[in-house]
Amino acid sequence: MSINTEYKSDTKEFDIIYRHALKVGDIGICKWNIDNNEIYIAENISGYQLHSVKNMVEFLSSIAYYKDKELAIQDLDDYLKGLTMFYLSTFRIRTEAGEIKWVLIRGKIFKDQVRGDRILHLIMFNVTGNKLHEGHDTITNLINDKFFLRKLKNSTKRSKASNKSGALIYVDIDNLRDIVNNHGLQFRNDFLLHFSQSLNSILSKYYELAKFHDDKFIILIHSFDSIKEVKDLCNKIYDHFKEPFKVVGDQFNINLSLGVTIFPDDSSDADELLKFCDCAINKSKQIGKNVCTFFDKEVSKSYFRETLIESQLANAITNKELYLYYQPKMDILSNKVSGFEVLLRWNNKKIGYVPPNEFIPIAESKGYIVEIGSWVLEETLKTASMWREKGYDFETISINISPLQIKRKDFIAELLDLCRKYGILHSQLEIEITEGTLLGTCKENVGIIDELIENGFNIALDDFGTGYSNLSSLIEYRISTLKIDKSIIDNIENDKNKVVFESIVTLARHLKFKVIAEGVETKGQLDVLAELGCNGIQGYYFSKPLPKNKIEYMLHSLT
């Protein structure tokens, strides 16, 4: 707390200036002599008669909205204890007419030069509806992230002192984008406003609901007696939004993901709690949306590993941590190597070896996959060109391409450039994509698959049998290969899977697709596949993925 000594208590001019200022703006003033507890208040924002108020704390208690009272008093307390340079506070007041308004208070202590008393002078601004004001969300009128964070900090502090637990519940509308799409901004705002009001209507008046900038809603339960209270609330939210939700004459089915964290059990740090909540909600989304996840040790472990992978992956190329393995594919009729699938590997100095199934989804979500994919393409073509120079013979080399990569405008140009640079025939390259990627690019009318085929590249459909597996929708595309997923091959000796496989082979033959079985591990599987008319296999039975030198050795012995 710093004390200024400019103030003279006998200067009448100040009072005159204050009175004029009051008339000009939607403001209030207050002068509080801390040492003799005299207070002078002039404000019209709250509408209350405050003659009987004896000190600043009473003044704040009289006007502040009950949910913000504690915070308002704490800001004053912090300043008086010298924790802040100025007295600055923002909170909601409830006016005499029952209206909620936002106010901003600025104040400072001056020393009376005659008597030496400390006098706190403050100005209160009505900032309701002011875009620059930092406390509330203008769409829903709920409090926003910044203000919420302060409340959370208070709440965690209190829970530590009182030995009681509190909770945070993140609420995210899974299908918000689908709902508001094509409707324009006004509808989006109306929808969010209605949703927030509806959600608020089922919350206890002691809970706090806020809207965060990314359209997530968050509920703060300051304290609860039993965890059942939190679980019951989550169920109540799902029940409440089970019925179609009406907005502007339309009805919508709302799907919600929830993420919950408990303090102080999970953490007492407000920022960390928000992160944990986010991480719980991400888990809900991974599980398949419309799910509620409570943050726990497992979620925490996977969260920290994911963040570590994320940070280390950013420099994987520069640190030369990526390398490629190649898995031979075998042609069943000729019993010869027909080509290779390129499989990315990553060995990080901090984490060690990380399997692609773990780091590729993260690379995709962070957008790193585009740069990594380009690296894979160039490395592969460099290697293929070297093998060609050495006179090794192989039909195709297959590369896994992520949807993010293939949808980029410059993908084909990059591919053509690299083929030119390394002298690789387009027909020697096979692009492996999943059925989801194929249908996705077609739906978005990207036209990239047709362009790749027109340029002579081969397209293989990866993991076939796990997704949509809608063969009839594939008729339109001149795909070269269907790669049947390991999950079907694992049980190929069972009659049901045989029938599925046989029908795929029959259709594929009509459509002139080759059929490759993935993950073949035994002679028994190979025999059944050969009998069912499968064209090729890839799997540990024939060969595991191998480093470049081992493949060269294999190619060398074949020539």
Task: Write out the residues near ligand C2E by the rule CB under 6 A.
Answer: 327, 343-344, 355-357, 360, 373, 376, 400-402, 462-463, 518-521, 538-540, 545
Q: Of these partners, Ca ion, ligand C2E, none, which one is at the site of residue 70 (CB under 5 to 8 Å by kind)?
A: none
Place of tokens 């009509």: 510
Least separation in angstroms between residue 333's CB and ligand C2E is 20
H-helix or E-strand spanning residue 81: none
Least separation in angstroms between residue 485's CB and Ca ion is 6
Whose Cβ is closer to Ca ion: residue 53's or residue 401's?
401
Identity of the amino acid at 342: V
Least separation in angstroms between residue 282's CB and ligand C2E is 20
Whose Cβ is closer to Ca ion: residue 194's or residue 345's?
345
Whose Cβ is closer to ligand C2E: residue 64's or residue 377's?
377
Least separation in angstroms between residue 432's CB and Ca ion is 4
Least separation in angstroms between residue 453's CB and ligand C2E is 20
Cis peptide before 264 (omega within 30 of 0): yes
Do 363 and 321 form a contact (C-beta atoms < 8 A)? no
Q: Of these partners, ligand C2E, Ca ion, none, which one is at the site of residue 376 (CB under 5 to 8 Å by kind)?
A: ligand C2E
Residue 393's Cβ-count burial label (10 Å; 0-12, 13-18, 19+) is exposed
Least separation in angstroms between residue 173's CB and ligand C2E is 30
Least separation in angstroms between residue 298's CB and Ca ion is 27
Taking the C-alpha atoms of residue 488 and residue 518, their distance in angstroms, rounded to an integer, is 9
Least separation in angstroms between residue 501's CB and Ca ion is 15
Q: Given CA atoms 444, 448, 450, 451 in this order, what sign does their dihedral have?
A: positive
Whose Cβ is closer to ligand C2E: residue 339's or residue 373's?
373
Whose Cβ is closer to Ca ion: residue 233's or residue 484's?
484
| Footprint on this chain of Ca ion (rule: CB under 5 A) | 400, 432, 462-463, 518
Q: Of these partners, ligand C2E, Ca ion, none, which one is at the site of residue 519 (CB under 5 to 8 Å by kind)?
A: ligand C2E
Q: What is the dihedral of CA 246, 249, 252, 254, to 10 degrees?
A: -30
Q: What are phi and psi of 316, to 5 degrees?
A: -60, -40
H-helix or E-strand spanning residue 162: helix 145-162
Q: Of these partners, Ca ion, ligand C2E, none, which one is at the site of residue 540 (CB under 5 to 8 Å by kind)?
A: ligand C2E
Question: Helices 69-80 & 145-162, crossing angle to 10 degrees?
Answer: 80
Q: What is the DSSP letter of 441?
A: H
Q: Of these partners, ligand C2E, Ca ion, none, which one is at the site of residue 60 (CB under 5 to 8 Å by kind)?
A: none
**What is the 3-state secondary structure of 499-531?**
HHHHHHHHHHHHHCCEEEEECCCCHHHHHHHHH
Whose Cβ is closer to ligand C2E: residue 258's or residue 322's?
322
Whose Cβ is closer to ligand C2E: residue 309's or residue 520's?
520
Whose Cβ is closer to Ca ion: residue 212's or residue 464's?
464
Q: Of these partners, Ca ion, ligand C2E, none, which one is at the site of residue 374 (CB under 5 to 8 Å by kind)?
A: none
Whose Cβ is closer to ligand C2E: residue 124's or residue 484's?
484
> Ramachandran region of residue 476, left (φ > 0), alpha (ψ -120 to 50) or beta?
alpha
Least separation in angstroms between residue 501's CB and ligand C2E is 16
Q: Where are the alpha helices (DSSP H) in 260-395?
A: 270-287, 297-313, 356-366, 369-389
Q: Long-range CB contacts (< 8 A, 24+ apart) of 86-89?
A: 87/120, 87/122
Cβ neighbours for 360, distance < 8 A, ≥ 6 positions apart: 344, 369, 402
